[in-house]
């Protein structure tokens, strides 16, 4: 409305929808140089991609816009301070059309200028000592106070009070915020500390470190002291940014159980191996509502390595990951002395866009659930099982939705292995768009990067449980290695040329959600898994993935 142009003038609805979800608009100050810089900033914040970066209430928006509306003039402010304003009179009604409003605005401005000129010229036009040309009858007013008693020299006027010189006001120090059983951090003086690393030195087991502001914290953070940091919570209540500097590995969580990190935006400078790396005895991890954005294709958002399974479950949920290499990576391996598996991990309800490899499960892994995730535009694959080692067991890949990924699912392993892991379930997933060979089995020959040839997909169909997966594909027709590696549609799955969903626009709240009357809403496996297909349940249906984990743990333990 301010610039007279839409933010993204694309030619088609899909182009505009994708631009709203992924691109930044041309800054308002470039389109309208006369716009105040502060107003341009307010508009930019209102259009931020991530909800935590926007204003959190209509009141905040009104307060931010107040300096740029007509009601912020000095006279109106004074009237608000001294007068009573009935409800509904705090705003000015805008005219219906901007063009017709111009004469009214010009007239109001002219009256204001005339009034200002009159105030300035008044002393010259009517000086205080000028004789009155039309004097009226002289009326003697009574004295304001009676004359002083006889014998006194007190004048008939108030004594002059001495006025102290104006003192320079001291800046008001912000009030320090404290919380029960925890420490606070803020750069504006409201926190007990100004850096997160300082609180990690002072925190005690079970305490909360709460970042109060939305500032950027460029720090190297290590959570590696179980005696002080077990079961701590690190949270940002206003979406503060963790900026991982050059030359660092990011945030390291090593051998500390029960750590919770939530609410931060995670960014990086230069090259990193990962933004958050977790390993060793860090079971019971909880990463929640984190927003990752990686500009380097080699940087992973989260890497989990050799977290001993069988203890408290580690959960990564409700996170948003954009760009970078591997979005979420779970890795276990076998060293020369003893096996080092990784497991008891749940990856659920995350959104991963434009990553090279969205979710990677590799090595000796046990009890890993990949459920309810939405993945779009992955350059290599959405979900990959890679070079699984002996001991790999209980992998559930259920109710994930992928859109326009080079491969919705990829199994990368040595095709000559005699014994493949059998307790693997691929159920209720929705694979939309991408190449026709959207699910593939590539023979790695034991390599991590070179393709030895196509794998035998028939082996996978027999060894694993495939059920209620919906695939938008025509099936490969070429003779290339990917076509030969295609995993055919299993008997319990469904193939269609086009599968209808409410929206394929990334920024839409209905992104990859089925309509109520869609077969996707009712054709899921059911039982201990949802009765719908894909990551997004139909309206009116809620699903608690924690119950799935608990039920399967009880079944595994024979309870």
pLDDT in tens, 447-469: 888 888 999 999 999 999 999 99
Model confidence band, residue 304 (pLDDT cutoffs 50, 70, 90): very high
CA distance 157 to 164: 21
Element housing 75 (H / E)? helix 74-82
User: Token digits for 365?
Assistant: 């892994």
* Domain termination residue (choose one: 27, 61, 82): 82
CA distance 389 to 363: 5
Does some domain include residue 120?
Answer: no
Q: State the pLDDT at residue 365.
A: 94
Model confidence band, residue 370 (pLDDT cutoffs 50, 70, 90): very high
% the chain with pLDDT above 90: 50
Q: State the pLDDT at residue 101.
A: 42
- Of 191-205, 325-339, 385-399, 514-528, minimum mean pLDDT range: 325-339
Q: At residue 276, does pLDDT exceed 70?
A: yes
Question: What's the number of CA atoms in the CB half-sphere (13 Å) around residue 221?
Answer: 28
Nearest to 484 by CA among 475, 496, 472: 475
Does some domain include residue 480?
Answer: yes
Tell which phi-psi region holds residue 446, choosing left (phi > 0), alpha (psi between -120 and 50) or beta: left
pLDDT averaged over every residue in the chain: 82
Q: State the pLDDT at residue 429.
A: 97
Ranges assigned E (strand) in 399-482 = 401-403, 409-413, 424-427, 430-432, 439-443, 453-454, 465-467, 470-472
Q: pLDDT tens digit string along 70-112? A: 555 444 454 444 444 444 433 333 333 343 444 444 454 455 5
Does some domain include residue 105?
Answer: no
Counting the structural domains of the chain, the total is: 2
Does some domain include residue 477?
Answer: yes
Q: State the pLDDT at residue 287.
A: 98
* Angle, in degrees to the nearest 10, between helices 58-65 and 37-46: 160
Q: State the pLDDT at residue 208.
A: 98
CA distance 211 to 219: 14
- Of 18-27, 195-204, 236-245, 419-428, minimum mean pLDDT range: 18-27
Domain range enclosing 49: 13-82
Average pLDDT for residues 310-326, to the nearest whole number?
A: 94
* Domain termination residue (choose one: 63, 82, 101): 82
- Of 92-106, 373-387, 439-453, minimum mean pLDDT range: 92-106
- Of 3-12, 21-30, 139-148, minimum mean pLDDT range: 139-148
Question: What's the number of CA atoms in the CB half-sphere (13 Å) around residue 374?
Answer: 21
Average pLDDT for residues 401-414, to the nearest whole number?
A: 95
Q: State the pLDDT at residue 122.
A: 46
Classified as helix, coil or strand, 506 is coil
C-alpha distances in angstroms, 387 versus 359, 364, 378, 415, 549? Answer: 14, 9, 20, 10, 25
Model confidence band, residue 167 (pLDDT cutoffs 50, 70, 90): low
Does some domain include residue 165?
Answer: no
Q: State the pLDDT at residue 103.
A: 46
CA distance 473 to 456: 20
544 CB neighbour count, 10 Å cutoff: 8
Higher-scoring residue by pLDDT: 183, 174: 183
DSSP state of 198: H
Cβ neighbours of residue 154 under 8 Å, at least 6 residues apart?
148
C-alpha distances in angstroms, 241 versus 267, 346, 365, 493? Answer: 7, 25, 32, 43
* Domain termination residue (choose one: 59, 82, 105): 82
CA angle 306, 310, 315 (to 5 degrees): 70
String of b and e for 265-280 (b: at least 16 CB within 10 Å)?
A: bbbbeeebebbbbbbb
Does some domain include residue 352?
Answer: yes
Tell which phi-psi region holds residue 505, choosing left (phi > 0), alpha (psi between -120 and 50) or beta: beta
Model confidence band, residue 27 (pLDDT cutoffs 50, 70, 90): confident
Q: Secondary structure of the chain: what % helix, strand, coil (to 5)?
A: 20, 25, 55
CA distance 122 to 507: 60
Q: State the pLDDT at residue 200.
A: 96
Does some domain include residue 256?
Answer: no
pTM comes to: 0.70
Average pLDDT for residues 508-534, to the nearest whole number?
A: 91
Q: State the pLDDT at residue 439.
A: 94
String of b and e for 73-82 (b: at least 16 CB within 10 Å)?
A: eeeeeeeeee
- Of 170-184, 229-243, 327-341, 346-360, minimum mean pLDDT range: 327-341
CA distance 83 to 315: 56
Q: At residue 131, does pLDDT exceed 70?
A: no
Model confidence band, residue 379 (pLDDT cutoffs 50, 70, 90): very high
Task: State the burial class of residue 131 (Cβ atoms within 10 Å of its Cβ: 0-12, 13-18, 19+).
Answer: exposed
Model confidence band, residue 383 (pLDDT cutoffs 50, 70, 90): very high
Q: At residue 428, does pLDDT exceed 90?
A: yes
% the chain with pLDDT above 70: 78
Does some domain include residue 195?
Answer: no
């Amino acid at each position: 409305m301010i610039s007279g142009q839409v933010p993204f003038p694309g030619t088609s609805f899909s182009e505009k929808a994708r631009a709203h979800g992924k691109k930044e608009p041309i800054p308002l100050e470039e389109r309208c140089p006369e716009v105040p810089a502060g107003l341009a900033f307010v508009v930019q914040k209102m259009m931020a991609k991530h909800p935590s970066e926007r204003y959190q209430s209509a009141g905040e928006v009104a307060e931010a816009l107040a300096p740029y509306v007509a009601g912020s003039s000095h006279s109106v402010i004074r009237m608000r301070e001294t007068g009573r304003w009935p409800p509904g009179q705090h705003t000015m009604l805008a005219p219906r059309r901007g063009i017709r409003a111009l004469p009214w605005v010009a007239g109001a401005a002219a009256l204001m200028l005339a009034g200002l000129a009159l105030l300035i010229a008044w002393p010259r036009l009517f000086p205080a000592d000028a004789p009155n040309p039309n004097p009226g009858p002289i009326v003697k007013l009574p004295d304001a106070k009676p004359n002083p008693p006889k014998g006194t020299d007190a004048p008939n006027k108030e004594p002059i009070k001495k006025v102290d010189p104006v003192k320079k006001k001291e800046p008001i120090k912000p009030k320090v915020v404290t919380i029960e059983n925890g420490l606070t951090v803020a750069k504006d003086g409201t926190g007990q500390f100004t850096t997160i690393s300082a609180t990690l030195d002072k925190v005690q087991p079970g305490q909360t470190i709460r970042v109060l502001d939305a500032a950027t914290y460029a720090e190297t953070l290590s959570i590696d002291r179980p005696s002080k940091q077990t079961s701590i919570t690190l949270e940002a209540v206003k979406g503060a940014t963790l900026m991982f500097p050059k030359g660092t590995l990011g945030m390291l969580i090593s051998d500390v159980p029960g750590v919770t990190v939530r609410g931060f935006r995670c960014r990086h400078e230069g090259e990193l191996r990962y933004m958050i790396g977790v390993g060793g005895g860090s079971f019971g991890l909880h990463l929640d509502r984190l927003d990752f954005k990686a500009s380097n294709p080699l940087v992973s958002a989260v890497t989990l390595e050799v977290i001993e399974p069988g203890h408290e479950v580690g959960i990564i949920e409700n996170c948003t990951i954009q760009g970078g290499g591997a979005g979420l990576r779970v890795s276990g391996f076998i060293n020369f002395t003893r096996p080092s598996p990784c497991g008891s991990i749940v990856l659920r309800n995350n959104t991963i866009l434009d990553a090279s490899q969205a979710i990677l499960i590799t090595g000796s892994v046990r009890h890993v659930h990949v459920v309810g995730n939405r993945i779009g535009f992955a350059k290599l694959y959405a979900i990959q099982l890679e070079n699984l080692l002996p001991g790999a067991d209980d992998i559930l890949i259920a109710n994930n939705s992928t859109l326009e990924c080079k491969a919705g699912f990829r199994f990368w392993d040595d095709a000559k292995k005699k014994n493949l892991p059998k307790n693997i379930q691929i159920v209720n997933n929705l694979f939309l768009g991408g190449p026709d060979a959207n699910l593939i089995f590539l023979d790695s020959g034991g390599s991590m990067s070179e393709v030895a040839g196509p794998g035998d997909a028939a082996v996978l169909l027999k060894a694993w449980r495939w059920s209620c997966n919906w695939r938008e594909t025509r099936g490969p027709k070429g003779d290339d290695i990917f076509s030969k590696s295609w995993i055919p549609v299993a008997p319990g799955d469904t193939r269609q040329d086009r599968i209808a969903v409410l929206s394929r626009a990334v920024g839409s709240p209905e992104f990859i959600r089925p309509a109520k009357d869609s077969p996707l809403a009712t054709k899921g496996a059911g039982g201990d898994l949802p009765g719908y297909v894909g990551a997004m349940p139909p309206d009116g249906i809620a699903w608690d993935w924690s119950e799935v984990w608990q039920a399967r743990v009880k079944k595994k333990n024979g309870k």
